[in-house]
Amino acid sequence: MRANVLIDGSKILDVGDRQPADGDVVFDAHDRIVTPGLIDIHAHVYHGMGVYSIDPARAGLMTGVTTLLDAGSAGSLNYGTFHEYVMPQAREDVFALLNIAQMGVHGYRAIEPFVGDLHEIRRIHVPSAVQCIEAHGDRIVGTKVRLTAVLADHRKENEYAGLHGVVEAAKRTNLPCMIHHASSAIPQPEMLDALRAGDIVTHMYHGRGDGGFTDPGGAPTDAMRRARDRGILFDVGHGVGSFDWSVAEPACREFGFWPDLIGTDVHAFNVGGPVYDLPTTMSKFLYLGMSLENVIRACTSVPARAIRLDDSRGWIKPGFTADISILDMQEGNVELADVEGDLRMTDRRLVPVATFKDGKLFRCGK
């Protein structure tokens, strides 16, 4: 579809064949891809807290992304600083999933002393999470838990407390929750059965065989298929350990189990590779055979609906926020790496050119 988009201040005024008037400022996007502002539904941008998070600017407008969802970097004890000092400073719109662990994500296994989110069961606290969400409902759009044995000091009861707590807090606040489940003591079917329609499971193509998301033949498990049929959403959540070509290729190409959401899980340990940015992650799914239209939807309208922001963003239509991303489809041989360092060669990739945020133009890469 070719059309002119008229922006008036921070809102989209018209989409169609209306021609520029005298005095209008024109951005020529001829032969480029114009999309709603890209939404990264899985990022870590609580800059200055812990070792994980990066400055929102490194994952935002300079990469074509206008809206960032921080996936559990903060819990109820430290969310306030995120809300008061990091979010207002960002040029991007930053929203959050609140970690059910009160301190959120604050450690990394390669850095001593390591303390995981769920090491202390008393810090898995539903009442304080609910209170924090109710106080900051303009920015907190759901809850998050990371279910991995090492993050719970290999205590199964701590993982179960995290799963039950995150779902309970989500129920009490009528919001979705996101579940990270990898190398967990909780069986995958049991984890999936605890979720409700609209909840999100991330890291869907991780290659960790213990509780992985495919059977030995590469097919998605029966539990995954049932969960999708019930309305559970699946996010890529690439990260530093959760996107493996050997899992993604058969799941997508042979069994048609494509992601609902394309989130990067970008943080300090992967922003320099293999994640880099959202357009690079999007390009990996073009390589796998996902249509350009569906790749774009997985970073615009679908995440907007998932976190209930679809009354203002996710589409280019009159009355919506003037958040627009402009991309080039560049041709030429490019290497795309998974988390194991395995490479695939593609002949095309998406590259961000510019973004409009609230109607203001930003050149990407700057």
pLDDT value at residue 54: 97
Q: For helices 156-173 and 126-135, what crossing angle results, to 10°?
A: 30
CB-based contacts of 349, cutoff 8 Å, min separation 6: 279, 280, 283, 286, 329, 330, 334, 336
How are strands ordered across the β-sheet holding 38-43?
A: 38-43, 65-75, 93-99, 140-147, 177-181, 200-202, 233-234
pLDDT value at residue 113: 85
pTM: 0.97
**Which of 163, 162, 144 is closest to 71 using CA atoms?**
144
Q: How far apart are alpha carbons 93 and 282 in whole angstroms?
A: 20
Condensed to tens digits (0 to 9), the pLDDT of residues 147-199 reads: 999 999 999 999 999 999 999 999 999 999 999 999 999 999 999 999 999 99
Over range 265-286, report the average pLDDT.
97
Condensed to tens digits (0 to 9), the pLDDT of residues 198-218 reads: 999 999 999 876 557 777 778
Given pLDDT bands bounded at 50, 70 and 90, which one contains residue 366?
low
pLDDT value at residue 361: 95
pLDDT value at residue 363: 95
Condensed to tens digits (0 to 9), the pLDDT of residues 137-158 reads: 999 999 999 999 999 999 999 9
Over range 25-43, report the average pLDDT.
93
pLDDT value at residue 265: 98
Please say whether the structural domain 36-314+323-351 has been given the CATH code 3.40.50.300.
Answer: no
DSSP letter (8 states) at residue 18? P
pLDDT value at residue 211: 57
**pLDDT averaged over the chain?**
94
Domain boundaries, given as residue ranges, for the chain: 36-314+323-351
Q: How far apart are alpha carbons 164 and 158 in whole angstroms?
A: 10
